[in-house]
Amino acid sequence: MAEYRNSAHGVFDIKYHPVWITKYRYRILRGEVAERARDLIRQICHAREVTIVRGAVSPDHIHLLVSAPAHLAPSKLVQYIKGRSSRRLQEEFPNLRKRYWGQHLWARGYFCATVGAVDEETVKAYIENQRWEEDDQGFKITAPTEP
């Protein structure tokens, strides 16, 4: 059963699976650096009202499964996490600053997929089984209501 979240005007369950890697795929996320990266990601997510369902810090990449508020785009979420964590990790671990002299700890880009309780085929079938009056390239109009 999905755990729905509420905003002032909506009810939603939005989950993302973002993944990103270290620059040059260097295996730097070990020991204290990995623990601090995990703590920073937790803090950043908490500040943005993002719930971490699951997460994993591997030596050269991060996997998250998060539940996000409806107003937060996945691109912005990853931007916040990567930007703030990179800056703080390089401040706190001088050896990272030497290795990443361009101030970029993470590689450009990321992967993100949505995750849901209902798959695409179920939603398509539900929409397809509604009563329709007109079909225009898969975007239908329901039968008009009586005046």
Length of the chain: 147
Q: Is 24 a catalytic residue?
A: no
SS3 of the chain: the string is CCCCEECCCCEECCEEEEEEEEHHHCCCCCHHHHHHHHHHHHHHHHHCCCEEEEEEEECCEEEEEEECCCCCCHHHHHHHHHHHHHHHHHHHCHHHHHHCCCCCCECCCCEEEEECCCCHHHHHHHHHCCCEEEEECCEEEECCCCC
Instruction: Identify the active-site residue in 16, 100, 110, 126.
Output: 126
CA 133 centroid distance within chain: 38
Catalytic center residues: 126
